[in-house]
Amino acid sequence: MRYLLFFSVLIMMAACNSKPTPQAPPTDTTILLPDGDTTTRPAMQIPDSLVVRVDTSGVFIGDLQVHSNAELGSKLLDTLNDMYQTMHQLPKGIALLFSDQILMGVRGNVHDAVKDAQNNMLSIVADQQFHTSMKKLQQAQKDSLMQQFPILYQKH
């Protein structure tokens, strides 16, 4: 009986001292290409927020510098689409950071480029999830997308 009590105490102590296992890192994704070949995309971490920074030295998406509004919209769409196609997730929002010296016209152009990228990404997601254009989405579908991907409906 003593041995049973001793082993029970040891098991309880071991259980209390055990550390939680760390979360497994994301794994690479293998994708089947249209020609039947496969490719592997490296695992990706989805940030909580995608940062677009505008200062006197340029416009940056994260650390990537873009040189025009068209390139900003294109690179932002590529980044969001890559996250969606790889992980089926998107960041919660886009943070626009402007230095004080940036003129209102430039700010407006950046806002327009971001909005265009959001609308284009919304079209892609609507087509893939509901097989319809974003203009033909029913209210329940819009609500579902708004809850799942708030970044696509974020106002700036």
Both structure tokens of 42: 């490296």
Q: Do the Cβ atoms of 72 and 62 come closer than 8 Å?
A: no
Q: What integer is the mean pLDDT of 20-37?
A: 59
For the chain, domain boundaries: 48-153
Does the structure show a pLDDT above 80 at 52?
Answer: yes
- What global pTM score does this model have? 0.71
Q: pLDDT of 97-112, one tens digit each? A: 999 899 999 999 999 9
Q: pLDDT of 36-50, one tens digit each? A: 777 666 666 888 999
36 secondary structure, DSSP code: S
30's CB contacts (< 8 A; 6+ apart) are 38, 39, 40, 41
pLDDT band at 54 (very low <50, low <70, confident <90, very high): very high
Q: Is the dihedral of CA 88, 118, 93, 129 positive or negative?
A: negative
Does the structure show a pLDDT above 70 at 12?
Answer: no
Name the least confident of 10-14, 39-43, 64-68. Answer: 10-14
Please tell me the distance from the alpha carbon of residue 32 to that of residue 29, in angstroms, as a whole number: 10
Q: Where are the alpha helices (DSSP H) in the chain?
A: 2-17, 69-87, 104-130, 139-148
Residue 95 CA neighbour count, 13 Å, CB half: 9
The more confident residue out of 152 and 29 is: 152
Strands 49-55 and 93-98: parallel
Residue 100 CA neighbour count, 13 Å, CB half: 0
**110 vs 11, 94, 104, 114, 141, CA distance in Å?**
60, 12, 10, 6, 28
pLDDT band at 153 (very low <50, low <70, confident <90, very high): very high
What pLDDT sits at residue 156?
85
